[in-house]
A = this chain, B = another copy of it.
């Protein structure tokens, strides 16, 4: 079979455009209404998407005054979506900095059981500046330390998921033996940040462990992703940077002894779709006209570690000197460098930059017809920029429906996207192996001749 695209539906408020919540085509449901998310999950499954994905932030932003924020918590949301879907992958973000490893390992194991093997974990170190003070810290923990912790955290939870052999549960009623205690073991992890004895108090997840998703773009973040990630979310405003990122990650992974197909790279794409180019452009303008500059400035400030841009004239041309050095910023590198190189290249006004970022916060925004969107997707896919996309509809559910109804069939006709689910787990959809257990050999296959 030819190489196939992978698509996730990335859910964000009432759409990824920061003014989506005000647009007449957006849902009017509350962000705390689970039926809104259940409905989106059903639509994503009907469109044969690989997964639905929820980002997260461990603090509420000031932008809540002018933007729809404060939705449901991702892990409880996934559990509620598992029941209304059968094949769709379910990916939630959770923090390696502000969660106890035992609790996280257990909740993800539980979710993987609840969904029969459809869960992915987007591993984040939690860059938003407000998170630390919600967890006992005076300030945000700095970038390098967050990644050191993340590396150890992933090791601890991986050990916990492996602390039960796949065949540990016997359930032998006649003999009165429920489990084989020699197939369940302590992990006795003692590291710099964590000390966890184990074993976990739930059996090994159906997928062995959740699919590891990561989105770091700094040098440290890429190194981490190359070592651990099985799917990578990434933000690029242009194909050249996506190609460079793609090659860098796959090269780093190869250097670590991993196969290129063990990592699925999924840039974000925010498609503003119209039946004509003019209609798409009109929709894009409508959205930008609904933006509130305070929201864009708050976003930009958050991206740059709290740097204040509000003294700048909205209609004056920006220079890179208006920005702090990304190396000094305690925030997600993934976006800061993308933004600064865009400023250097395009010399936009502050207002134009805010509009550019309003669509998808530094991800690729494509404004056009279904054919044009499909062409961009195919181009990136065939150029070594992407194995698929994190689809970020600017307006939900409206622009997801248009994508599913108009863009997906074009890609299916070109033989680039599935026409039915082949597998049942998220690993199946992404073409990933179920990991071996580091502590226990697999039980002999039942059909092996004696």
Contact = CB atoms under 8 A, between A and B. Distances in A.
Contacts of A201: 57-60, 69-70
Given A32-B202, A57-B201, A136-B194, A65 B100 contact: no
Contacts of A173: 21-22
A106 to B, nearest CB: 5
Contacts of A64: 178-179, 181, 184
Interface stretch (A72-80, A215-223, A229-237): A72-80
Interface residues of A, number: 72
Nearest to A173: B22
Interface stretch (A107-115, A280-288, A333-341, A414-422): A107-115
B181 A65 contact: yes
A100 to B, nearest CB: 6
A163 to B, nearest CB: 9
A77 B79 contact: yes
Given A72-B202, A76-B79, A34 B114 contact: yes
Contacts of A110: 32, 72-73, 76-77
Interface string A44-73: 000000000000011110101111111111
A341 to B, nearest CB: 31
Interface in A150-197: 164, 169, 171, 173-174, 176-181, 184, 194-197
A150 to B, nearest CB: 17
Contacts of A136: 194-196
Nearest to A190: B136
Contacts of A130: 197
A34 B82 contact: yes
A113 B62 CA distance: 22
Nearest to A110: B73
Contact of A135 (B21, B57, B113, B196): B196
A73 B102 CA distance: 11
Interface in A358-388: none
Interface in A315-374: none
Contact of A179 (B65, B107, B179): B65
Interface of A: 21-22, 30, 32-34, 38, 57-60, 62, 64-73, 75-80, 82-84, 98-100, 102-103, 106-107, 109-111, 113-114, 130, 133-136, 164, 169, 171, 173-174, 176-181, 184, 194-203, 290, 292
9 contacts: A70-B169, A71-B202, A72-B114, A77-B79, A80-B83, A102-B135, A136-B194, A136-B196, A176-B292
Given A64-B178, A76-B107, A136-B195, 8 more contacts: A32-B202, A34-B83, A64-B184, A75-B107, A76-B114, A80-B80, A83-B84, A98-B100
